[in-house]
Amino acid sequence: MFAQTEEHPWQFSFGFNAVDTFPTDAIGQGNLFEEFVNIGDHWNIAPYPSQIGIANYLGSGFSLGFIFSLNTISKYGNLTAENDSFFATDANIKYNLNTLFKTNRFAPFLESGGGYVFFDDVSAGYFNLGLGVEYVLGEKKKNGFICQKLI
């Protein structure tokens, strides 16, 4: 992933995704977030890079991004599934808080947006809200690119 600047406004990314289909806070399913970290039993994690994204710097710390994710659902909580398809698309506006804090290595950000998921024969829209930190790994190069890692 590369940093976005006015000179280099595009950012391309790829990664992995995980889908938790274990319903919590439902009758017989435990309290909300009770099994959230039960990754082995409840999460469907794609064993291959399953997410691609593109973003464009708009100016004043804002960027607009789109992400496409896919996965195969092989378990619903404690039950096995028939490898159902999972596709998701997201559009997000990200605000780089580094424009306020002026840090050199850490770049905290806020993001918000929406998406649409196609899960087997069901589809639905959803709202995204996020907070994160990007960490600059390398120094600024002559061509203006900076390597970053998303934490």
pLDDT at 119 over 80: yes
Judge whether 4 lies within some domain.
no
Lowest mean pLDDT among 45-54, 73-82, 122-131: 73-82
Q: Is residue 128 part of a domain?
A: yes
Do the domain assignments include residue 142? yes
DSSP string across 20-78: E----SSTTS-STTTTTT-HHHHEEE-SS--EEEEEEEEETTEEEEEEEEEEEEEEETT
* Structural domains of the chain, count: 1
Task: Specify if 1 maps to a domain.
Answer: no
Per-residue pLDDT at 67 exceeds 90: yes
Q: Could you tell me if residue 37 is inside a domain? A: yes
The reply to whether 3 falls in a domain is: no
Give the chain's mean pLDDT. 81
Q: For residue 66, give its domain range.
A: 10-150
pLDDT of 10 over the 70 cut = yes
pLDDT at 149: 44
- The rounded distance, in Å, linking the Cα atoms of 89 and 115 is 5
pLDDT band at 5 (very low <50, low <70, confident <90, very high): low
Higher pLDDT, 124 or 33: 124
Which pLDDT value is given to residue 143?
A: 46
List Cα–Cα distances, 144 to 3, 33, 136, 140, 150, in angstroms: 9, 42, 13, 6, 19
Q: Which residue has the higher pLDDT, 18 or 24?
A: 18
Q: What is the pLDDT of residue 1?
A: 43
Q: Is 3 left (phi over 0), alpha (psi -120 to 50) or beta?
A: beta
In a domain, 5, yes or no: no
